[in-house]
Amino acid sequence: MGSLGALMKHPDDFYPLLKLKMAARNAEKQIPSEPHWGFCFSMLHKVSRSFALVIQQLDTELRNAVCIFYLVLRALDTVEDDTSVAADVKVPILIDFYRHIYDRDWHFSCGTKEYKVLMDQFHHVSAAFLELEKGYQEAIEDITLRMGAGMAKFICKEVETVDDYDEYCHYVAGLVGLGLSKLFHAYGSEDLAPESLSNSMGLFLQKTNIIRDYLEDINEIPKSRMFWPRQIWGKYVKKLEDLKDEENSVKAVQCLNDMVTNALLHVDDCLKYMSALRDPAIFRFCAIPQIMAIGTLALCYNNIKVFRGVVKMRRGLTAKVIDRTKSMADVYGAFYDFSCILKAKVGKNDPNAQKTMSRLDSILKTCRDSGVLNKRKSYIIENQSDYTPFVVVLLFIILAIFLVNLNPNWPNN
């Protein structure tokens, strides 16, 4: 439920966190009874708890299709990510993966922990895939084919230029955006979005993850994973791994800010995409991750901790995003607030300060021009809390009563 210190500092996180906890329990109770579907939704909770929550926004038919789409691509990504698998073994699997999803007997042992379970028991995913309607199957097959070929291309190719970076992100995430747009269209509730906008939805999320996960990727065993383009990091250090060395802290932060500035290029497209959505459930499904991404970039910008450990939004703020994102006014408001936070961190001596400010000003203008900023109350830029320590203690008493009623054996667990 979040640390005591965080709740003392942000007591208004309590209720959204409680709702999130209850939603997670409810989602686990809704796992289907059929063995293959039960495996798929149980695995979804294990490989991405946040996605498993967000997917609950969708109607059952579309939720099933998106679940299988996610697991197929997660399995494909597991093959790509496993640095212990030789390239001559990995490449043919990536290229042929779109065929394997039709094979109820196919599996390939790779990955670790829950990802290894997914790969070892992939026949459950294939069985569920084969029960989807033809339109969903065709969309998933098409994206798997294109993504597998793109991943195979970059197994033997370094990310040298910004164009390479955009191409790689297109294959591993932009195509996810295209695929989701196809699934929404097949479901019948949305027009087929322009590919450029769908691509930007994926690129914005992927670039945010690549920035945030620098240390995890560079420390990967047995071989580092390097996704930051040399065209950017080469301006600051001789080797990408040099960014984590303390003596390069100034250069590392400048490089980080350069990467964040590059990611901001996609925001306007993302806002256009979301503003065109009609189905409220699909809107929330798409909007929540995008707000999380701009929030993460605001946290990462000018932050040396990206090169020292894990940087992510506090759970209470995440819970608020999930709870309070219901309309485009909420999206514009969140993007406006996080952009203001980011803008306040831009130093005049940063080599990319002018470019960063220009892109932030463009985002802020788009949000202001929407005319809806006054229709929501900001939960991101917080005023001084009126809560007293007594109220905080009361909240914890309520939580304790709730947990005891939920599980009488809770104190002993």
Higher-scoring residue by pLDDT: 400, 191 = 191
Q: Confidence class of residue 395 from pLDDT cuts 50, 70 and 90?
A: low
The whole-model pTM stands at 0.89
The residue ranking higher by pLDDT, 407 or 360, is: 360
Report pLDDT digits (tens) over 200-255.
999 999 999 999 999 999 988 777 778 999 999 999 999 999 999 999 999 999 99
* Distance, CA of 149 to CA of 95 (rounded, Å): 5
Residue 298 contacts residue 314 (beta carbons within 8 Å): no
Residues in the chain: 413
The answer to whether residue 104 is catalytic is no
Q: Active site includes 338?
A: no
Domain residue ranges of the chain, discontinuous segments joined by +: 33-157, 172-377
pLDDT of residue 32: 82
Query: Fold match between 33-157 and 172-377?
Result: yes
Strongest mean pLDDT among 39-53, 151-165, 397-411: 151-165
Q: Are 128 and 36 in contact (CB under 8 A)?
A: yes
Q: What percent of the chain shows pLDDT beyond 70? A: 90
Identify which of 159, 152, 202, 160 has the alpha carbon closest to the alpha carbon of residue 177. 202
Choose, from 74, 212, 324, 359, the residue flagged as catalytic. 212
**pLDDT score at 181:** 98
Query: What pLDDT was estimated at residue 11?
Result: 77
Encode pLDDT of 83-94 as tens digits.
Answer: 889 999 999 999
Q: Which of 104, 225, 230, 315 is catalytic?
A: 225
Q: From the candidates 39, 115, 273, 285, which is the catalytic residue?
A: 285
* Res 222: pLDDT: 72
The CATH code of the domain at 172-377 is 1.10.600.10
Q: What residue type is 369 in one-letter code?
A: D
Range scoring the smallest mean pLDDT among 99-103, 288-292, 341-345, 371-375: 371-375
pLDDT for residue 177 = 98
Query: Is the bond preceding 222 in cis, omega lying within 30 degrees of 0?
Result: yes
Mean pLDDT of 96-123: 96
From the candidates 51, 168, 187, 335, give the one annotated as an active-site residue. 168
Res. 261 pLDDT band, cuts 50 70 90? very high
pLDDT, residue 56, reads: 82
Q: Which fold has domain 33-157?
A: Farnesyl Diphosphate Synthase (1.10.600)
Which amino acid is located at 120 in the chain?
A: D
Assess whether 285 carries a catalytic annotation.
Answer: yes
For residue 176, what are the contacts with CB-CB under 8 A and spacing of at least 6? Answer: 73, 143, 147, 202
108 is catalytic: no
Q: How confident is the model at residue 348 (pLDDT cuts 50, 70, 90)?
A: very high
Give percent of the chain above pLDDT 90: 72
Q: Is residue 380 predicted with pLDDT exceeding 90?
A: no
Number of H helices, E strands in the chain: 21, 0
For residue 30, pLDDT beyond 90: no
